[in-house]
């Protein structure tokens, strides 16, 4: 790892820490009567409005093809990912199972990268490290409560689809990042995320067809929406797109394995969830797996030189 890129690894860590903590905010909002799709639309609308302060006034990409790619990243990394994930939980799939399936996103990212970019070298250490990190991720998510309930296949399929959609998002971002600024791309993600989410409000499986505007007057609601919209969405998405450009999609995606660590810490702090020794063992496996995966990428990068 070049010393100049340590900064971007720190950014990746901070973004994942915030995303791991969003579970608590989402749970509070769901408990206050907002639907999963409604939460997504509010947070991305807020992020889109705030992004105009930082983004250029430019409306469209250079050509129709790139504009369509912008729509793809808004759909896959925005509406599809968040709505599938939250709907999986609404369908009754255990949160631990959903979290575990969503945590396969780095694996799907690596596989799709290898398929689309066959010359991209990925050694055995990378795959071994990813497997170890994924095992640690499972321990952290279950946290000593091993409930492998698969009685609801629909919810589990949606959770897996969310992970794949994030992998597609990462790959398309890589294609766009060389031609557009991360801020411009992020603003387009928010725009197309909201646009493609609206139909989900009127599908019985994912929405109620109504917006619970009365709930927005509650401090607990608008406060958590502000955190999700301004911090977790606007700031973290922009930073994440920079990270993908600077350190690559496989390295950046591997940091997502750390998300359950921050989720369980936030749960322990705010919803009185206990951290067991099983989860601590998972922490160790995740850190060790990421180190092995990183060493594998470094080795092959040095061989190319």
Per-residue pLDDT, averaged over 142-156, amounts to 62
Per-residue pLDDT, averaged over 181-202, amounts to 92
End-to-end CA distance of the chain: 14
3-state SS, the chain, equals CCHHHHHHHHHHHHHHHHHHHHHHHHHHHHHCCCCHHHHHHHHHHHHHHHHCCCCCCCCCCCCHHHHHHHHHHHHHHHHHHHHHHHHHHHCCCCHHHHHHHHCCHHHHHHHHHHHHCCCCCCCHHHHHHHHHHHHHHHHHHHCCCCCCCCCCHHHHHHHHHHHHHHHHHHHHHHHHHCCCCHHHHHHHHHHHHHHHHHHHHHCCCCCCCCCCHHHHHCHHHHHHHHHHHHHHHHHHHHHHHHHHHHHCHHHHHHHHHHHHHHHHHHHHHHCCCCCCHHHHHHHHHHHHHHHHHHHHHHHHHHHHC
CA 98 to CA 84: how far, in whole Å?
10
pLDDT of residue 305: 45
User: For residues 296 and 129, is the Cβ–Cβ distance under 8 A?
Assistant: yes
Say whether pLDDT at 233 is over 90: yes
Other Cβ atoms within 10 Å of 267 Cβ, number = 19
Say whether pLDDT at 1 is over 50: no
pLDDT of residue 90: 76
Nearest CA among 113, 229, 257, 235 for reference residue 173: 113
Locus of tokens 């990268």: 113
Locus of tokens 């929405």: 207
Return the percentage of the chain with pLDDT > 70, whole number: 86
pLDDT of residue 300: 46
Tally the domains of the chain: 1
Q: Identify the burial level of 185 via C-beta atoms within 10 angstroms of its C-beta, where 0-12 means exposed, 13-18 middle and 19 or more buried.
A: buried
Say whether pLDDT at 197 is over 70: yes
Query: 228 vs 140, which has greater pLDDT?
Result: 228
pLDDT, tens only, 44-60: 999 999 888 876 678 89
For 58-85, b/e burial (b = at least 16 CB within 10 A) is: eeebeeeebeebbbbbbbbbbbbbbbbb
* Greatest mean pLDDT range, 118-122, 190-194, 289-293: 190-194
Return the percentage of the chain with pLDDT > 90, whole number: 30
Instruction: Record the tokens describing residue 294, joined without a space.
Output: 């990183």
Cα-based distances in Å from 44 to 163, 174, 300: 19, 21, 38
Chain centroid to Cα 113, Å, comes to 17
Say whether pLDDT at 191 is over 90: yes
Structural domain harbouring 34: 3-304
Locus of tokens 């995740």: 286
Say whether pLDDT at 80 is over 50: yes
- In angstroms and rounded to an integer, the radius of gyration of the C-alpha atoms of the chain is 19
CA 300 to CA 250: how far, in whole Å?
13
Average pLDDT, the chain: 82
């Amino acid at each position: 790892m070049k010393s100049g890129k340590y900064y971007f690894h720190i950014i990746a860590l901070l973004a994942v820490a915030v995303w791991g903590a969003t579970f608590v905010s989402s749970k509070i909002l769901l408990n206050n009567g907002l639907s999963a799709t409604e939460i997504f639309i509010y947070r991305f609308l807020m992020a889109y409005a705030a992004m105009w302060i930082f983004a250029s006034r430019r409306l469209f990409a250079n050509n129709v093809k790139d504009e369509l790619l912008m729509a793809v990243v808004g759909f896959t990394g925005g509406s599809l990912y968040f709505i599938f994930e939250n709907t999986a939980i609404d369908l009754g799939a255990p949160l631990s199972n959903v979290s575990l399936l969503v945590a396969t996103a780095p694996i799907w990212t690596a596989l799709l990268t290898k398929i689309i970019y066959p010359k991209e070298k990925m050694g055995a250490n990378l795959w071994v490290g990813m497997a170890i990190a994924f095992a640690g991720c499972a321990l952290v998510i279950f946290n000593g409560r091993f409930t492998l309930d698969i009685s609801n296949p629909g919810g589990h399929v949606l959770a897996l689809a969310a992970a794949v959609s994030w992998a597609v998002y990462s790959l398309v971002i890589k294609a766009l990042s060389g031609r557009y600024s991360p801020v411009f791309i992020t603003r387009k993600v928010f725009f197309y995320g909201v646009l493609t989410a609206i139909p989900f409000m009127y599908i019985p499986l994912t929405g109620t067809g109504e917006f619970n505007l009365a709930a927005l007057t509650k401090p607990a609601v608008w406060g958590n929406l502000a955190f999700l919209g301004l911090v977790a969405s606007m700031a973290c998405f922009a930073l994440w797109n920079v990270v993908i450009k600077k350190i690559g999609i496989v390295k950046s995606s591997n940091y997502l394995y750390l998300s359950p660590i921050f989720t369980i810490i936030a749960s322990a702090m705010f919803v009185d969830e206990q951290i067991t020794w099983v989860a601590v063992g998972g922490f160790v496996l995740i850190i060790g797996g990421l180190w092995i995966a990183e060493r594998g990428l470094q080795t092959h990068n040095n061989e190319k030189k």
